[in-house]
Structure 1
Amino acid sequence: MWVKLGFMISNQPPLWRRAVAEFLGTSLLVMIVVGSGIAAQQLSPNDVGLQLLQNSTATVLGLTVLILVFGPISGAHFNPAVSLVDWVLGRRSGTGLTLAGLGTYAVSQTLGAISGSVYANAMFEVGTSISTKDRASSGHLLGEVVATAGLVLLIFTLAATQRGVLAAPAVGAYIGAAYWFTSSTSFANPAVTIGRIFSDTFAGIAPGSVPAFILAQLVGAAVGVGLLLLLFPSAGRTADDVVLPHEAGRVAS
């Protein structure tokens, strides 16, 4: 499929433009997660279940829209774990992110996530402060392994089977479901995890819980890759199509 590798790489938007898309997409994603969490606390202060429903519904809808907006530019990774897997799988077939691209994506995503928390706090006039919400129980960490493995398997399966057009609703639906079937409420994203340190609200996470969360997410990503290669051995050939195909020719200049 990727015989004309040099053509395909040069036909992508420049790295700086993809980095901007990853920054904005991840920032807006965290704004949605943190902002809807604050709103849920204020609207339903005595009903945690309803707060989670409000938070997850906003995230499902918002993530779907963000993938549609930024996917054609950067692929809409918004997640260093997804970018890392894209790079790892691409090494097998000469596709996917370069090492420089991986580093640029990860930095853009992390800075975007932090800015999203700060902006969400400001919108609701909640002071930006470090979260005190401890989450690193064994159950939560297991939940992060499961959530991240499922996310990686879903995204790269869609690319491998040429169904990337379904990525926006499928990823949104998966994250929405994982809010409920995982004990951790499915962070499944190292950048978002770091960003959520900076809001001591419903969606926050204490700094002490973050290293274990990120380790669990990386383990989950590795599990997801293992399952992917077991089911679709040639999946690495479509690394450039993750989460959505992003060729410059498909974007109006």
Structure 2
Amino acid sequence: MTVGRRLAAEGMGTALLLAIVVGSGIMGERLAAGNVAIALLGNTIATGAGLVVLIHMFGPVSGAHFNPAVTLAVLLRREIEWRTGLLYAVAQFVGAVLGVWAAHAMFAEPLLQISTRFRDGPAQGFSEFVATFGLIGTIIATQRGRPEFTPVAVGLYITAAYWFTASTSFANPAVTVARSLSDTFAGIAPSSAPLFVAGQLAGAVVAVAFFTWLFREARTQ
């Protein structure tokens, strides 16, 4: 598969992911009549289900990372070249922003926005560390043992992590940056984003170290 097609898959897949995340957040908030739990539930189900479909769609082309933290993990495991990994990240960030704008357009929201939803504090950063650690672990473990189950496993993990993490599991630097450009239910204030991204990158690095060690040990016994 050519690099151009792989980048197109990463960009389009990430755009569709953000359209799902932000669009379902807008829809959920509009229909929930002020019930935040119901709005979050709608946002959760749509995101988890959408991830399963998107990974099946684009996985055969690019691996369906849709996430610079996932690409970083793949780079650290030497499963992709650095130049290609950097291009993946660029495609993911561009696609994420386009996906947010698409969601705004579908719901007749102003295209250009800046989020005012603050998500601050050490607990939020630690939540993103845990969320990303688990996501990378899910991918590494299922790719080793049951690769055909990876799309479903990722969708299920993110669905669960929406509810067991205080941050609602962004677990994705491109998603975080793009959601700072949406003053809707799924948004995050730009000042809150750096802590999220730091937690995500740290979670990815620690997950690669731990799960690589874990399965290397299992193979040598």
TM-score (norm 2): 0.96
Q: Which residue of 1 aligns with 2:29?
A: 41
Distance in structure 2 (CA, Å) of the matches to 1:231 and 1:213? 26
Q: Which runs of 5+ in 1 are unaligned?
A: 1-12, 91-95, 236-253
- The CA distance in 1 between the partners of 2:43 and 2:64, in whole Å, is 21
Equivalence for 1:59: 47
1:192 aligns with 2:180: no
Q: 1:180-210: CA deviations, max 9, x gaps?
A: 0000000000011111111100000111111
- Calculate percent identity across the aligned residue pairs: 49
Which of the numbers 45, 52, 70 marks the counterpart of 2:58? 70
Structure with larger Rg: 1
Contact 1:129 1:200 (C-alpha < 8 Å) held by counterparts:
yes
Q: Whose relative contact order is higher, 1 or 2, with alpha carbons under 8 Å and at least 6 apart?
A: 1
Higher helix share: 2
Shift of 1:111: 0.4
2:210 pairs with 227, 235, 252, which one? 227
Question: Which residue type is aligned with residue 96 of structure 2?
Answer: A
What amino acid does structure 1 have at the position aligned with 2:30? Q
Q: TM-score, normalised by structure 1?
A: 0.84
User: 1:233: how far off?
Assistant: 2.0
Amino acid at match of 1:121: H
Runs of 4+ in 1 over 2 A off after TM superposition: none
Q: Which structure 2 residues correspond to residues 1-253 of structure 1 after superposition, within 5 A?
A: 13-90=1-78, 96-127=79-110, 128-161=112-145, 163-233=146-216
1:149·1:224 contact (CA, 8 Å) conserved in 2? yes
Residue identity opposite 2:120 in structure 1: A
Amino acid at match of 2:2: P
**How far off its partner does 1:98 sit?**
0.5
Pairwise CA distance, 1:59: 0.5
Offset of residue 45 of structure 1: 2.9
